[in-house]
Amino acid sequence: MRLTVIGTGYLGAVHAACMAEIGHDVLGIDVDARRIKALAEGRAPFFEPGLDEVLARNVASGRLRFTTCLREAAGFSELHFVCVGTPQHGDSPAADLSHVDAVIDGLALHLRQDALVVGKSTVPVGTAERLTARLAAHVPTGIKAEVAWNPEFLRQGLAVHDTLRPDRLVAGVTTARADAVLRAVYAPMLTAGVPYISTDPATAELVKMAANSFLATKISFINAMAEVCDTVGADVVTLADAIGHDPRIGRRFLSAGLGFGGGCLPKDLRAFAARAQELGVDHAVSFLRQVDEINLHQRWRTVTAARDLVGGDLVGHRIAVLGATFKPDSDDVRDSPSLTVAAELHRQGAEVRVHDPQGIENARTALPGPHYEDEVSEACRDADAVLHLTEWSEYRSLDPDALAALVHTPALLDARNSLDTGRWVSAGWNVRALGRPATAPYPDFRKPSVTTPRTWQP
Ligand code: UDX
């Protein structure tokens, strides 16, 4: 099938490449000429494991092309996937839909044939209905344009896998024709047994919001438990393992620590709450605000734990920060918890040295204050404390003995609860974690400083 993918960010670039990979003839469109140039050369403009290979293969085969011209896209196919960003609005918690609206207006201007416009971006419920009217008002007479919603559930770092082998496909459609088109697009996945849920657009839009809200709630739940554990000297990791054995609960997304960030979960929570308020059902999802608050509070808890680790005052202390991205296997620093912590440590007078395997360039742009180091050893040299803030696998294989010889004081905060802290303790490190009893002679681990919740500017 011939199809276009409009918007080639973390979602669209992967979608375009994977649609070509399963045999479609794909044209990707973006307003960013530098990004389009890289993609057209078969290179991903950001770090996503496996994407370069899929891009290169399909660009070389001629099945995948890129352009900055929306008019060309409108003429290329009758099927258009919309993958542009829906970030948080500058001055409110709601989603900024200006990019989606601009695509619809642009398409409407150039359409000379009937079209099925399929939204994949995460949007507030009711968007497909609104865009249907917007499109109808602007397309030339005689042209039929339909809007469907087909939310995407891919995880960054696993995006190629998740797109080629999704858990489920959700199609929010208003006609049998749109349903048939989407079934044909995803035929290889359907043949492989991937569940396909056909529903109305409003339900499809809500499925995405509900899924992300549920995942965020799970993380904030375990982080709330971690804080309770800290006050009584209990262990949140054992607690998560124990409750996770119950299949009704499940262990996944119960990793306590610094909390969630990135371009999706935080802004989707806020956009959902904002949309519920507009719809007059604010009370039904008011807990989402608390989920957000608990999450942001983990950043303060981490700053406080770091301050405790260096004796109560950060001024003049050298702090090594391991990890800048919001999660491992990504170069994305959007709403990265680790960068919020690094910024606050810097603001409180620490000399912060940040290492990240892939995210240094983006981090430097987002947060110019700290020093950025290409080597873990340089970030840790003469440090008064080492903070493990993003769980890259390479940090798990660090040698605590070798690192102990480099630092000024062997003090570690594992804010992701994913290091083998026993090894670090054996190597002489004073280890602190969030929600876990101190495993080293940390003098007052049963009396951690009280961190009064403060409101971060989300
Ligand atoms: C998320 C959803 O998982 C995905 O389905 C949706 O399409 C986009 O948003 P992503 O943003 O890639 O995907 O990250 P995810 O793997 O969900 O992790 C989000 C954040 O939660 C990360 O900062 C991660 O470190 C944190 N997290 C995750 C935890 O703190 N604890 C956990 O147990 C799991």
Q: Give yes or no: residues 281 and 350 share one domain.
A: yes
Q: Give yes or no: residues 228 and 245 share one domain.
A: yes
Q: Give yes or no: residues 184 and 332 share one domain.
A: no
- Going by alpha carbons, the residue nearest to atom 15 of ligand 1 is 155
- Nearest ligand 1 atom to alpha carbon 212: 2
Is any ligand 1 atom within 6 A of the Cβ of residue 106?
no
CA distance 436 to 114: 59
Q: Give yes or no: residues 236 and 135 share one domain.
A: no
Task: Using the 3D structure, point to which of 183, 198, 213 is the last residue of a domain.
Answer: 198
- Residue in the structure block whose two tokens are 């007479």: 141
Q: Give yes or no: residues 31 and 165 share one domain.
A: yes
For 32-177, list the strands marked E by DSSP.
Answer: 64-67, 79-82, 115-119, 145-149, 169-172
The pick from 327, 329, 395, 434 for probing ligand 1's pocket by mutation, whose C-beta has the most ligand atoms within 8 angstroms, reads 327
Q: Give yes or no: residues 50 and 140 share one domain.
A: yes
**Structural domain boundaries enclosing 67:** 2-198
Check residue 445 and give its pLDDT: 41
Whichever domain contains 337, its CATH number is 3.40.50.720
Catalytic residue among 18, 83, 229, 264: 264
Is any ligand 1 atom within 6 A of the Cβ of residue 154?
yes
Residue 271 Cα to ligand 1 middle (Å) = 17
Is any ligand 1 atom within 6 A of the Cβ of residue 45?
no
CA distance 16 to 46: 15
Residue in 45, 3, 46, 50 with CA at minimum distance from that of residue 28: 3
Check residue 90 and give its pLDDT: 86
Determine whether 264 is an active site residue: yes
- Nearest ligand 1 atom to alpha carbon 326: 23
Q: Give yes or no: residues 57 and 107 share one domain.
A: yes
Residue 8 Cα to ligand 1 middle (Å) = 21
The pick from 264, 322, 414 for probing ligand 1's pocket by mutation, whose C-beta has the most ligand atoms within 8 angstroms, reads 264
Q: Consecutive sets of 10 residues in the chain, 458 residues long: mean pLDDT of each? A: 97 98 98 97 96 98 97 96 94 94 96 96 97 94 96 97 98 98 98 98 98 98 97 95 97 98 96 96 96 98 97 96 97 97 97 98 96 98 98 97 97 97 94 83 45 48
Q: Give yes or no: residues 140 and 163 share one domain.
A: yes
Task: Using the 3D structure, point to which of 163, 198, 233 is the last residue of a domain.
Answer: 198
Specify the number of domains making up the chain: 2
Q: Give yes or no: residues 205 and 191 share one domain.
A: no
Check residue 451 and give its pLDDT: 54
Q: Give yes or no: residues 150 and 244 share one domain.
A: no
Residue 260 Cα to ligand 1 middle (Å) = 6
Task: Using the 3D structure, point to which of 178, 198, 218 is the last residue of a domain.
Answer: 198
Q: What are the CA-CA distances from residue 283 to residues 104, 221, 274 (Å)?
A: 32, 19, 11
Q: Give yes or no: residues 121 and 27 share one domain.
A: yes
- Going by alpha carbons, the residue nearest to atom 13 of ligand 1 is 155
337: its two tokens = 């918890």
Q: How many helices, marked H, and strands, marked E, lie in the chain?
A: 19, 14
Residue 259 Cα to ligand 1 middle (Å) = 9
Check residue 443 and give its pLDDT: 45
Check residue 210 and give its pLDDT: 98
Coil, strand or helix: which one is 236?
helix
Question: What's the Rg (C-alpha) of the chain?
Answer: 24
DSSP string, 317-335: -EEEEE--SSSSS----TT
Residue 384 Cα to ligand 1 middle (Å) = 30
Give this prediction's pTM: 0.94
- Going by alpha carbons, the residue nearest to atom 17 of ligand 1 is 155
Q: Give yes or no: residues 220 and 165 share one domain.
A: no
